[in-house]
Amino acid sequence: MIVNPITDGIVLDHIQAGRAMEIYKFLNLGSLSCTVAVILNADSVKMGKKDILKICEPIELDLAVLGYLDPGITVTYIKGGEKVRRVHLSLPDQVEDVIRCKNPRCITSTEPDLPQVFRLADRDSGTYRCIYCESKAK
């Protein structure tokens, strides 16, 4: 299988195998007019199997949200065929309007205009908690 190199765009590498489509949908890549390559189950020395997304356009990415979805992702920005920047993601300290609190006793259940904010409570276990009621993100 041959996927052409990118001239200007972004490569999301080291995506956990099987999660590329979830990230594709979350980033709404289907709405782009440029070429987007979705590579599933590629061989990886480090991970065994991995997914890769290649986007042939320098779009804006919310790296915090991407880090929440999969903190192992490597983001490489390419310009003029050269790698100009590489970012190793990590779990963000806080995410807003990504997760919804499911606790029926939480104030967000009756005041829907409130931002849904979750804060990283424990980096080791990747646990996020609602800032209002401290319920664990599910």
One of 108, 118, 120, 128 touching another protein (CB under 8 A):
108
Is 105 a residue that touches another protein (CB under 8 A)?
yes
Q: How many chain residues are in contact with another protein, going by CB under 8 A?
A: 20
Long-range CB pairs of 30-36 (<8 Å, 24+ gap) are: 32/57, 32/59, 34/9
Cα separation, 69 vs 19, in Å, equals: 9
Phi, psi angle pair for 13, to nearest 5°:
-110, 165
Contact 91, 123 (CB under 8 A): yes
Task: Considering the complex, state which of residue 12 and residue 106 has its C-beta at the smaller distance from another protein.
Answer: 106
* Count of Cβ atoms closer than 10 Å to residue 64 Cβ: 16
One of 10, 106, 120, 137 touching another protein (CB under 8 A):
106
Task: Considering the complex, state which of residue 60 and residue 111 has its C-beta at the smaller distance from another protein.
Answer: 111
CB of 92 to another protein, least distance (A): 19
Three-state DSSP state, 134: coil
One of 111, 118, 137, 138 touching another protein (CB under 8 A):
111
Binding site for another protein (CB under 8 A): 103, 105-111, 113-114, 121-122, 127, 129-134, 136
